[in-house]
Amino acid sequence: MGKIRIRTGRGTGTIEVDDDASKWSGDDFKKIQAARKKAASNRTVSSGRGTGSRKLGDTPESKSTTSTKGRTISTGRGTGSRKSSK
């Protein structure tokens, strides 16, 4: 387990952190995010330009986006198109 440097303060400073703290994507991040949400589930957050409020634990789980494979994608300022392969 090593150390990595992270830029801070508009890029003017650096700090060294453990290599474990760099889980910013994938399943590891989803687990960390779920644990944070569970820990703060009783906290109230404002929504809708500050006109409404709800508890953080009541927010619905996010859905995965549908695949765009086979759909047409506009290219070149909208003048061309191609089929999506992903």
CA distance 72 to 84: 6
Residue 10: inside a domain, yes or no? yes
Query: pTM (2 decimals)?
Result: 0.47
Query: 32: helix, coil or strand?
Result: helix
Q: How confident is the model at residue 22 (pLDDT cuts 50, 70, 90)?
A: low
Report pLDDT for 14: 93
Residue 81: inside a domain, yes or no? no
Q: Which residue has the tokens 């089929």?
A: 83
Residue 3: inside a domain, yes or no? yes
Nearest 5 degrees, angle CA 37-CA 41-CA 44?
Answer: 115
For residue 76, count CB atoms less than 10 angstroms from its CB and return exposed for 0-12, middle for 13-18, buried for 19 or more. Answer: exposed
Residue 6: inside a domain, yes or no? yes
Residues 76-86 pLDDT 10s: 998 999 998 87
Give the structural domain span for 34.
1-43
